[in-house]
């Protein structure tokens, strides 16, 4: 549905257009760690670490000087490893290893607020996106006599969504630039979820 809609729009666009493309490739990485509280009864409390990596590709075809049709794709993998043991008296959860994979495919409109020759080009993008999530969680359990792993698979879910993105492109050469961006995706077009799905990226971009 997404690409069928985009091809229809491209077919209907006028031929007398500005006719240049802005290609941006981005990468994101973050690590957060929370250490458990050490006590006399628990001298090795463990820790929880969240690691997130992602990459994105964004191509904008400027059909007018400041307005472009935009296609974008992003992939993010988030991994949580928590070895802070928790017990209910009979079963102890020794470790939780959880992975969530998120993919976003989007098509929309980008509006630039400076010409392509400017040193800094701020842009705002809005459009339609397919938001897909999947993943699994592995629990390491101990019942007092043995250990076992319990795996729970998360079914893949696909949401029709909207997205909004703000970016700043810093010109390095005539054709190459450095772009930083913040993008939010709103599954099922729920605006109140905008703060829950924000991704920050940085990468190189080319105009040709």
> pLDDT band for position 13 (50/70/90)?
very low
**pLDDT in the model for residue 41:** 62
d(CA 49, CA 45): 13
Phi, psi (degrees; rounded to nearest 5) at 38:
-80, 130
CATH code, domain carrying 175: 2.40.160.20
Q: Mind listing the pLDDT tens digit for each residue in 19-71?
A: 789 999 988 888 888 887 766 666 677 888 999 999 999 999 999 989 999 99
Overall domain count for the chain: 1
**pLDDT in the model for residue 169:** 96
Evaluate if residue 89 carries a pLDDT over 90.
Answer: no
Helix H or strand E segment including 96: strand 92-112
- Burial state string for 171-194 with b = 16 or more CB within 10 A and e = fewer than 16: beeeeebebebebbbbbeeeeebe
Question: Are 123 and 110 in contact, with CB atoms under 8 Å apart?
Answer: yes
Considering the entire predicted model, what is its pTM? 0.79
When comparing pLDDT for 188 and 124, which is higher? 124
Question: Are 104 and 185 in contact, with CB atoms under 8 Å apart?
Answer: yes
Q: Mind listing the pLDDT tens digit for each residue in 168-194?
A: 999 999 999 999 999 998 888 888 877
Q: What is the domain extent for residue 60?
A: 2-207
Evaluate if residue 15 carries a pLDDT over 50.
Answer: no
* One-character DSSP codes across 11-53: HHS-SSS--EEEEEEEEEEEEEEEEPPP-SS-S---EEEEEEE
Name the average pLDDT for the chain: 87
**pLDDT in the model for residue 16:** 43
Least confident of 70-79, 80-89, 105-114: 80-89
Q: How far is CA 98 from the centre of its chain?
A: 17
């Amino acid at each position: 549905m997404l690409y069928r809609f985009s091809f229809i729009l491209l077919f209907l666009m006028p031929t007398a257009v500005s006719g240049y493309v802005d290609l941006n490739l981005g990468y994101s990485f973050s690590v957060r760690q929370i250490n458990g509280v050490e006590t006399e009864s628990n001298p090795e409390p463990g820790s929880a670490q969240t690691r997130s990596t992602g990459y994105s590709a964004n191509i904008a075809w400027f059909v007018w000087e400041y307005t472009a049709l935009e296609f974008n794709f992003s992939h993010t993998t988030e991994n949580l490893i928590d070895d802070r043991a928790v017990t209910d008296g009979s079963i102890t959860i020794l470790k939780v290893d959880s992975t969530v994979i998120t993919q976003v495919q989007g098509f929309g409109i980008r509006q630039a607020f400076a010409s392509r020759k400017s040193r800094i080009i701020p842009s705002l993008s809005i459009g339609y996106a397919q938001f897909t999530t999947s993943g699994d969680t592995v629990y390491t359990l101990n019942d007092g006599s043995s250990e076992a792993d319990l795996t729970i698979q998360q079914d893949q879910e696909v949401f029709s969504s909207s997205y909004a993105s703000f970016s700043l492109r810093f010109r390095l050469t005539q054709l190459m630039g450095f772009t930083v961006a913040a993008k939010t995706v709103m599954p099922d077009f729920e605006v109140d979820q905008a703060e829950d799905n924000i991704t920050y990226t940085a990468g190189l971009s080319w105009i040709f």
